[in-house]
Copies of this chain bind each other. A is one copy, B any other.
Amino acid sequence: MDPKAVRELLERVRRGDASVDEAMGSLRDLPFAALAEATVDHHRALRTGFPEVILGSGKTAEQIVAIMREIDSHGQVALATRVDGDHGAEICAALPKVRYDPVARTAVLMRRPPRRIGTAPVCVVTAGTSDIPVAEEAAVTAEVLGNEVVRVRDVGVAGLHRLLAQRPVLDRASVIIVVAGMEGALASAVGGLVAKPIVAVPTSVGYGASFGGVAALLGMLTSCASGVTVVNIDNGFGAAYAASLINLGVET
């Protein structure tokens, strides 16, 4: 039951075409239906310009193509994450307007550049080269969501001077996403340098006692630096989404 239907019902009550009892009966199921409606409206309004997101892993290329087509037909931006190279090629063949990024493993279908959000860039910081795919998932997502993105690479804690040399860049950002695997310490170090919201992404890179990202995750959760929050292992997308909501706040 959408708002228009409620209005019509009320009109009919006003005109005497429907009794109060009949109207009560019609409204009885309103809460659930209306809530669904309201929530959707609310979100659609709020997220204007934000892409619909497709988790690519576990889906076939055809399934992704079909969903992207559907989203695109509604005039919205479609972002697929965790799309491997083979799938990426198939998707691009089917939908030539899709831009596929083999490092970030993202596929994006958008007709015009996203509306810019925030007044300062999101900075994506990585420790090692093997953390770059997750960092790029974050960076591409943040760009598609409308943020300016600055990348700072190869600044692990084991070479502090390289990190220190980047402080001016960090200082300019509104939010900093720190992506690090074995060396989860990077989030603490960045948090010790600048007083900004930091979203830390542990990566599953590494071997032995890194336990698929658990060592980095624990290191980030127990970070002594204030202002650090953490997302799931390898969740570059989630970090970028959270950063975008923060940046959105800065703008308004």
Contacts and interface: CB of A to CB of B under 8 A. Distances in A.
Interface of A: 3, 6-7, 10-11, 13-14, 16, 20, 23-24, 27, 29-40, 43, 46-47, 53, 55, 57-59, 127-130, 156-162, 164-165, 167-168, 174-175, 182-185, 188-189, 191-193, 195-199, 202, 204-219, 221-235, 238-239, 241-242, 245-247, 249-250, 252
B160 A193 contact: yes
- Total identical chains: 8
Contact of A208 (B158, B165, B167, B221): B221
A229 B11 contact: no
A242 B226 contact: yes
A195 B31 contact: no
Given A130-B58, A218-B210, A157 B225 contact: yes
19 contacts: A10-B23, A10-B24, A13-B14, A14-B16, A31-B31, A31-B38, A39-B160, A39-B193, A156-B188, A157-B192, A158-B192, A160-B192, A182-B223, A197-B249, A208-B221, A209-B222, A215-B219, A219-B219, A229-B229
Given A53-B226, A216-B222, 8 more contacts: A7-B24, A32-B167, A43-B195, A217-B221, A218-B219, A228-B231, A230-B230, A249-B249
Contact of A158 (B40, B57, B175, B223): B223
Contacts of A241: 226-227
Given A39-B161, A47-B195, A221 B229 contact: no
Contact of A6 (B27, B164, B217): B27
Contacts of A234: 207-208
A247 B231 CA distance: 19
Nearest to A241: B226
Given A164-B36, A206-B222, A20 B27 contact: no
Contact of A233 (B32, B192, B209, B214): B209
B184 A185 contact: yes
Residue among A6, A47, A223, A252 with most chain B CB within 10 A = A223
Contact of A224 (B37, B158, B167, B174): B158
